[in-house]
A and B are shown apart, each in its own frame.
Chain A
């Protein structure tokens, strides 16, 4: 008997009687899905938020916030020659600008999929990250987020909440572990 068959047989023999799945209604309570609520949480995570009317405002704000950026790439750029290169070559990207699909006010997380970023490693390997999120796409909690996201369409998706961080040395919080050292969220519209 293969290990697979052995394991499955043992589980079948030992698993408890099947119980019903609980309902997920009412778990969100009265959590607000507002921009104010989102901003407060994001800032608590070390992120920065700008309200903009059009994407054309982004370069000026980034130039002011991050003087000296060398390589900036935008996932929405139609040329996107970098998307066909070896992902390792993105190591020198100072700033990546990527679109977000849904924002979650309770925890600051933004849902991003492979289709939006073209190269999976992009929002991790860049030194700094900017996410552009439509204002009407803010939701109160993770429950609404999964409702909206629905069945997976993508090979890879990620919730990103703030810049990468660690507190492994004596519980001192340090922003910028292996992923982006900082995060800017542009709420558009």
Chain B
């Protein structure tokens, strides 16, 4: 697997080179967050819905073993073929074998963050199978040879002019045409051809119901349905945490999902796949890839409640200003930063630090994951396990010494204020990360405790 070596801060620096684009990115995502607020406020029972969803997911995690068996049994009874994959490599191998068995050379795929996590596309391409991503945003980033930068809005980092150029190059649209309506119509024509030609379709899964063995897939575009209902082979790939106990629980999650994601009342299509269509083969691949390990981490297991709405990204002040690619992981943003260290502590040790811990993510999460608290807890685990940089560890040690000794703290404060006044160049330079993009404040004449001592006597 090709892992990036640059960390979040370095990649965010790169994204921040183009300030107008950062501002646009920031404002666009905040606009989506505001839409989420407006629609959530129209439902008086919103908070009760969030609590209920969180409790259903907790029940699902506590009974996951039995629910998975129940789901498997029901799905098999419905005529589906169920596969189990311990990790990404096994998932990719299973999918490839199914496709090879049917002699598939070209296939369509609707949005599945799991297949991004497993790096399925490059694996299939190495085996001579061409994958066409059919979600418009995913198709755009695929043509640009980039990963999605957001789980719901895959090409939110791209300007329409860049998309117009990509379409001109790959789909033959007129140069210079960047009208979203026109470009979408061109993509519709291009992808209709692919849907009609494809022998197999891969979809993700939003919810899998243990009680009925059915899978619910939500899209606005209709691409999952166009793929799955035309192809002779349908492969649904899902993480084991997508299980919910009963069909009636879908009511709770479908009310929350789209409202939290984009501020719409529901996605255009909420498709319930239960049996393969006549003459069709339906495969379900259940993937662990670290999830059972995360389930055993008491502080972090609630991250498995996530329904992938992306609300935590849209609201995150760091995500909005650093872009999804700076997280160098399939799932970006706050939720990605608590899922990724479970996959690889060393590679993703930087992510839990890419946060201000403001808590906005936890406030909007539809299943009430304590995201910011988990970010804080991951930092402690990562430092303890020795995965943070030596500079950060050394700095933290110095701070511990200063903050735990009041005498040293007072002396250090006094010296700091004096240095800032006498030699401003010592702090106002590029070596000081706090100086980046901002002026240092004017040092106060005295510390609070000095002020307090003086003023307490005078009253």
Contacts and interface: CB of A to CB of B under 8 A. Distances in A.
Contacts, number: 255
A129 B156 CA distance: 29
B250 A146 contact: yes
B225 A19 contact: no
B268 A18 contact: no
B45 A168 contact: no
B270 A3 contact: no
Interface string B152-183: 01111011100100000000000000001101
B84 interface: yes
B265 A176 contact: no
Interface residues of A, number: 76
A114 B240 CA distance: 27
B65 A12 contact: yes
Contacts of B159: 170
Contacts of A28: 45
Contact of A19 (B62, B84, B156, B301): B62
Given A15-B63, A179-B222, A29 B266 contact: no
B274 A154 contact: yes
Per DSSP, are chain A's interface residues mostly helix, strand or loop, or mixed? loop
Interface residues of B, number: 93
Contacts of A27: 45, 48-49, 52, 251-252
Given A22-B52, A22-B55, A14 B293 contact: yes
B58 interface: yes
Interface stretch (A50-58, A68-76, A93-101, A104-112): A104-112
Contacts of B220: 164-167, 177
B267 A3 contact: no
A103 interface: no
B54 to A, nearest CB: 9
B26 interface: no
B83 to A, nearest CB: 9
Contacts of B251: 24, 27, 141-143, 145-146
Interface string B273-299: 111110000000010100011011010
B369 interface: no
B65 A8 contact: yes
B342 interface: no
B281 to A, nearest CB: 14
A143 B158 CA distance: 38
A95 B300 CA distance: 50
A27 B298 CA distance: 29
Contacts of A131: none
Given A4-B84, A14-B292, A179-B268, A168 B247 contact: no
A32 interface: no
A161 B265 contact: yes
B248 A171 contact: no
B245 interface: yes
A63 interface: no
Contact of B188 (A29, A41, A45, A176): A176
A143 B43 CA distance: 14
Nearest to A142: B251
Nearest to B217: A158
A158 B59 contact: no
In this complex, which of B52, B61, B272, B275 has the most chain A Cβ atoms within 10 angstroms of its Cβ?
Answer: B272
A18 B65 CA distance: 11
A156 B274 contact: yes
A109 B286 CA distance: 29
Interface string B175-197: 00000110111001001100110
A178 B134 contact: yes
Contact of A161 (B214, B221, B267): B267
Interface string A33-52: 00000000100110000000
B272 A158 contact: yes
A178 B293 contact: no
Contacts of B153: 167-168, 171
Contact of B68 (A11, A167, A180): A11
Given A15-B62, A91-B192, A106-B265, A6 B180 contact: no
A8 B69 contact: yes
Nearest to B110: A178
A168 B270 CA distance: 19
Contacts of B343: none
Contacts of A151: 212, 247
A49 to B, nearest CB: 16
27 contacts: A7-B84, A7-B86, A11-B68, A11-B240, A11-B292, A21-B59, A27-B49, A28-B45, A31-B43, A45-B264, A45-B268, A88-B196, A91-B192, A107-B255, A124-B229, A149-B247, A157-B272, A158-B271, A159-B266, A159-B269, A161-B269, A164-B221, A166-B136, A169-B140, A170-B159, A171-B153, A177-B188
The 10 tightest CB contacts between A and B, nearest first, are: A179-B222, A14-B296, A155-B275, A177-B221, A107-B265, A168-B137, A121-B229, A10-B292, A4-B84, A172-B180
Given A124-B225, A178-B221, A178-B223, 9 more contacts: A22-B59, A27-B251, A45-B268, A121-B225, A142-B252, A157-B271, A161-B268, A166-B136, A169-B180
